[in-house]
Amino acid sequence: MLDLTTIRNDFPILKRRVGEHQLVYLDNAATSQKPTQVIEALTNYYETYNSNVHRGVHTLSMEATDHYEEARLTVAKFLNAPSSETIIWVRNTTEAINLVTYTWGQAHLTSGQDIVLTEMEHHSNLVPWQHLAKTKNLNLKFIPVKDDGLLDIETAKTLIGPNTGLLGLIHMSNVLGTINPVKELAQLAHGVGAPVLIDAAQSVPHVTLDVQDLGCDFLAFSGHKMLGPTGIGVLYVNPIILEQMDPFLRGGEMVRDVSFENATWNDIPMKFEAGTPNIADAIALATAIDYLEDVGLQNIHEHERLLTEYAVSELDKLEIVNSVGPRDFAVRGGIVSFDIPNLHPHDLGTYLDHLGIAIRTGHHCAMPLVRDRLGLVATARASFYLYNSPEEVEKFIEGVKGAIRYFGA
């Protein structure tokens, strides 16, 4: 049971009003709000020890370096990674996956091999592989999504085989909320010698992840969806594979020695972190992780499950509303996407905004899923986090009812 009053008091933005209404923020799958502790971590860095990291001999640089590398260690412990050297700082999930395609993918995937993805992928785990497939003559195969919002595991077993070069899949769908059985699928892939990449952008903020237990070789996520700042993300890489990878970008921090003719690379992970890193945001992300662990990810997930069940059950009472995603809430995160015939999601989103309610509308960077698999132009999406309350869900439901009446849907 969460202490919602205490938690909500930690988030200054929740006190603001939108027009005449108190803000109800239900767009957490797009980005989360930030607690005072994270904001203060950023301010503290810039006010007390702002400096570039590594190689500096003065006090500020050494303090900055210590905090920066401690943040990397915090992330490693959070994921149960074997060491902090397996954690590479990136800007976001998209950059992390591109790093894998341009380094490991270019070097190790060969013409004619299959890249197995799912029909529910975010564009970030689709478009980079499309580009690589075109340049290296690879085949893209897709694990289907069943009508209940779950992956077709039996078909997955037929797609993952000796010709599979890589399995890449989203852990939690940002449209359906489905939490995929990534450990089971990783075992299938490893059984045929294929590495596994997990897009954990939606899952890391809400459920406990153990990269060693999952058996993944790559795992990517963004800080801004888990109470951290924008512009900082993480790529975890299996240490054996990490040793096989060439740098993605070159120059600055990632070099060990440079002559006019040649250069050698720094130790892992700095080998993959060219130029001045995002020091402040890495440190603040560690503060966000501390906050989540203090509250407890299991507590957060259970709180979100209750909100999701409530929202879905109330939407289901409105016969005109078509909500998508699993009805088994044990395998679903706090995401509720839905469609109302004759009421465009953008019109609904605008109506709710006039009530101070923030949701997301569109295809959610998953066009093939929304348009081709679900057959929808777009959906409206409400997504929940630890600071949302049942009263806010009730306001959201009443807002949807009001929009249906207003637009005559």
| Residues identified as active-site | 365
Cα distances from 208 to residues 177, 293, 297, 314, in angstroms, run 16, 10, 6, 28
Alpha helices in 178-257 (DSSP H): 182-191, 211-214, 239-242
* Other Cβ atoms within 10 Å of 60 Cβ, number: 13
DSSP letter for 389, please: -
CA distance 255 to 270: 8
CA distance 307 to 398: 15
Which phi and psi (to 5°) does residue 242 adopt? -55, -40
Q: How far is CA 196 from the centre of its chain?
A: 16
Cα distances from 353 to residues 109, 179, 347, 378, 408, in angstroms, run 47, 29, 10, 18, 18
- Angle at alpha carbon of residue 201, lines to 195 and 205, rounded to 5°: 120
Q: Given CA atoms 86, 134, 182, 200 in this order, what sign does their dihedral have?
A: positive
Who's near 361: CB < 8 A, 6+ residues apart? 345, 346, 348, 349, 378, 379, 380, 381
